[in-house]
Amino acid sequence: MLVPGGNEFNCPIGNVTFEPGCHNNWHKHPGGQILLVTGGRGWYQEEDKPARELYAGDVVMIPANVKHWHGAAKDSWFVHLSVETNSQAGPAQWLEPVSDEVYNKLK
């Protein structure tokens, strides 16, 4: 974590690095999230929508309670800053893993 959660700034910020092929589970943020991509190539996907390929400089603004996942491409490291917006709404809700079928369709 670059900026911890808490009452003073109310905006936790983490620097997240995924090795090739690594991705997180489906999850939701009650207050929303912003991803600022700083390196590599990766993916972002919301439930029932096509995956979006991400590169350094991309920004993803995720509304509150939208089920999504993000992580590295199979052949690339992926780095982003994770900004938890409106963190007073509560912590992330972690859900089921992304299926191999979903992830392996991505190029």
Q: Which domains does the chain have, with CATH numbers?
A: 13-104 (2.60.120.10)
Provide the pLDDT for residue 46: 98
Mean pLDDT within 60-85 = 98
For the segment 84-88, the average pLDDT, to the nearest whole number, is 93
Closest to 98 in 3D by CA, of 29, 33, 21: 21
Question: Looking at residue 10, what is its pLDDT?
Answer: 85
What pLDDT shows up at residue 9? 83
Residue 27 has a pLDDT of 98
pTM of the model: 0.94
Predicted pLDDT of residue 69: 98
